[in-house]
Amino acid sequence: MSTEGEAENTARADMAAFVARNQARFMPLYDALASGQRVAPFCWPGLLAPQAWFLYRKMYIWAALVSAGPLLLAYVPQLSWLNWGTSLIGAFGLRLYLAHARRTIARIHGTVADEIEVQALIVRAGGVSRVGAVIGLAFAFSSFVLSLKAGAPHVFSLR
């Protein structure tokens, strides 16, 4: 096997270790993107419950964006229509996840020399958070209740 092919295999193995759960959904997409194909995967869980999905997949910055974003936009009446954008971001979750995974794996490789430690860190950085999913689903339920109440933007009144 060539050095290039070996590197590709290593990268795939790293990605598989990072993804951990549901590799059957992620790895074909990874392979397609790695081979230069144009794919636009649709992420249904991300569309329906973006907060839960991003927290489940440990993408905290995206989770913050789709959680705090709608609350902040509620204070800008002209931009409140952008609220649906959070679900749209969730729909692109698979691609965002793969990009996030590639960056994190590269960062781990860049900072740690020992291969055993690298593998341990990849496993730790990837995988899923069930607690995150529960918190995210509770979030989705609360926003559903709030939408029933057709609430005003007085969301926070606690210190």
Interaction residues for other proteins, span 88-117 (CB under 8 A): 104, 107-108
Shortest reach from residue 133's CB to other proteins, in Å: 10
Binding of residue 21 to other proteins (CB under 8 A) = no
Contacts of 19 (CB under 8 A, 6+ apart): 26, 27, 30, 101, 126
Among 60, 82, 99, 115, binds other proteins (CB under 8 A): 60
Binding of residue 79 to other proteins (CB under 8 A) = no
Exposure b/e, 83-113, CB count within 10 A at least 16 = b? eebbeebbbbbbbbbbebbbebbeebbeeee
Distance CA 21, CA 72 (A): 33
Contacts of 101 (CB under 8 A, 6+ apart): 15, 18, 19, 126
Binding of residue 58 to other proteins (CB under 8 A) = yes
Shortest reach from residue 30's CB to other proteins, in Å: 20
For residue 73, the 8-state DSSP code is: H
Binding of residue 86 to other proteins (CB under 8 A) = no
Binding of residue 156 to other proteins (CB under 8 A) = yes
For 80, the 3-state DSSP assignment is: helix
Q: Which stretch binds other proteins (CB under 8 A): 2-10, 27-35, 39-47, 147-155?
A: 147-155
Q: Which stretch binds other proteins (CB under 8 A): 8-16, 28-36, 39-47, 118-126?
A: 118-126
Return the percent helix, strand and coil in the chain, to nearest 5.
75, 0, 25
Distance CA 10, CA 41 (A): 24
Q: How many residues contact other proteins, by CB under 8 A?
A: 38
- Chain residues binding other proteins by CB under 8 A are 51, 55, 58, 60-61, 63-64, 67-68, 71-72, 75, 104, 107-108, 121, 124-125, 129, 131-132, 135, 138-139, 142-143, 145-146, 149, 151-159
